[in-house]
């Protein structure tokens, strides 16, 4: 049992939400699409309200890793915000 291979598959990145540096496995990490122009998902305004995402915003956006803490917060927020569980 126990080997030395496959131990270091993680990468270090900065959480797009809280700016915390954290290690993650790129194969399993949750990512969100972030529009570099606003620093927010293309469908979200700075006020936290939703708006239709324009194709341009989506096109320039890139997947960014999110740390587990923010993911947990987002899930709770999502449940409160979307009671139908969409």
Distance CA(84)–CA(29), nearest Å, equals: 26
Query: Which residue number, 40 or 70, has a Cβ lying nearer to Zn ion?
Result: 70
Q: What is the DSSP string of the chain?
A: ---STTS---EEEE-TTT--EEEE-TTT--EEEEBTTTTB-TTB-TTS-B-PPPHHHHHH-EEEE--HHHHHHHHHHHHHH-TT--
* CB of 18 vs Zn ion, minimal distance in Å: 3
* Contact positions vs Zn ion (CB under 5 A): 15, 17-18, 67, 70
Residue closer to Zn ion by CB (options 51, 75) is 75
Q: Nearest approach, Cβ of 82 to Zn ion (angstroms)?
A: 21
Kindly tell me which of 34 and 67 has the beta carbon lying closer to Zn ion: 67
Smallest gap from residue 77 Cβ to Zn ion (A) = 13
């Amino acid at each position: 049992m126990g080997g030395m291979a496959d131990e270091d598959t993680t990468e270090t990145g900065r959480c797009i939400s809280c700016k915390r540096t954290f290690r993650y496995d790129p194969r399993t990490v949750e990512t969100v699409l972030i529009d570099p122009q606003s620093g927010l998902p293309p469908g979200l305004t700075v006020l936290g309200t939703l708006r239709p995402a324009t194709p341009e915003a989506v096109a320039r956006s890139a997947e960014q890793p999110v740390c587990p803490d923010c993911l947990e917060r987002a899930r709770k927020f999502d449940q409160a915000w979307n009671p139908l569980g969409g």
